[in-house]
Amino acid sequence: MAVTGIHHFNLRVSAKELDALKEFYCDVLGFYVGERPAFRSTGVWLYAGKTPLIHLTEMHSGEIVAPGSPASLPEVAARSSAIDHIALASDDLDGAERRLSRHGVAYTRTEVPATAEIQLLFRDPSGNGVELIFPMGGADH
């Protein structure tokens, strides 16, 4: 077996957060809601181009963690998330900075000469870290 890349991210959140995240990722980052199979769960798939990259799934109150699963460990169950951030390959650095500013999203810009990348780092409405990665030296910055 070989991992060949990231297929999608699934964020499991409350119904209120699901709506807020859908608006954030669509309005601020330019994703769009696309086709999703008829699962028993409630949710939406957010597409970047033709790829359903972010899946949002509604978490129902009272969901129980199965005994023996990693999340049943006290140190895991006590934290809200182990994900520090998701990183998205991006283009149009200037356009991204304008869009984030227009939506009032505070971000940090970091230049990483060792990887020839520029990173924009911020948080989504649920507190998940998001990193947009742009090639350094492109015509758009």
Model's pTM, two decimal places?
0.76
* Cβ-proximal residues to 75 (8 Å cutoff; 6+ apart), any chain: none
CA distance 72 to 84: 20
Tokens, residue 92 = 């149009």
Percentages of the chain per state (helix, strand, coil), in multiples of 5: 20, 35, 45
Q: Is the dihedral of CA 14, 102, 53, 68 positive or negative?
A: negative
Q: What is the pLDDT of residues 98-119, one digit of tens each?
A: 999 999 999 999 998 888 999 9
Q: What is the pLDDT of residues 27-53, one digit of tens each?
A: 999 999 999 988 888 999 999 999 999
CATH of 1-60, one of 1.20.1250.20, 3.20.20.80, 3.40.50.150, 3.10.180.10: 3.10.180.10
Q: What is the pLDDT of residues 55-87, one digit of tens each?
A: 998 886 655 444 554 555 555 555 555 577 898
Q: Residues 83-141: name the CATH superfamily.
A: 2,3-Dihydroxybiphenyl 1,2-Dioxygenase, domain 1 (3.10.180.10)
